[in-house]
Amino acid sequence: MEGKTVQLNVPIRIEQIEKLSKAVAIVMASRERTKENKRITKATFIRALIDVIDFDEADLKDISTEEDLQSAIKKLIHKEVKTDGEPLGIGVLSSIYKKFAQDDQKKWVAGDFINTLFENGLVKAHSSEELWSKILENPDDATK
């Protein structure tokens, strides 16, 4: 961590802790083991999200509930993601899945990751069924 830090204690829901714990586990399980690896924690994710989100670009007017705030931030994130580039080809995702398919735990993590990409419109596929049939039928030859 760079700069001064302030301890912030906030109540969060159990499902939020579970999401953060899962994200930390994915990072820790999927990365190569090197001396340069820094410790990734739930607090690291929270700091990264705060740094990445451009709150100046979010429409924060007339926010009356946490759900309204979530909606405004989701709109901002989806707007930024949609303008960043072309959707991923299935071939790329097939390679990722194949790399992790040998380990059951990593296979499930990779599958969740690919599903999340698809759900956010970041994959060139018309349906989840089309995506997975191409990945699972012939992982080496999935169309791009």
Q: Which residues of 23-46 are buried (b: 16+ CB within 10 A; e: fewer)?
A: ebebeeeeeeeeeeeeebeeebbe
Write down the pLDDT at residue 80.
60
Write down the pLDDT at residue 142.
42
Write down the pLDDT at residue 136.
86
pLDDT beneath 70, residues of the chain: 1-2, 80-85, 138-144
Write down the pLDDT at residue 82.
53
The full set of domain ranges for the chain reads: 12-52, 55-85, 90-141
Write down the pLDDT at residue 13.
93
pTM of the predicted protein model: 0.52
Q: Average pLDDT of the chain?
A: 82
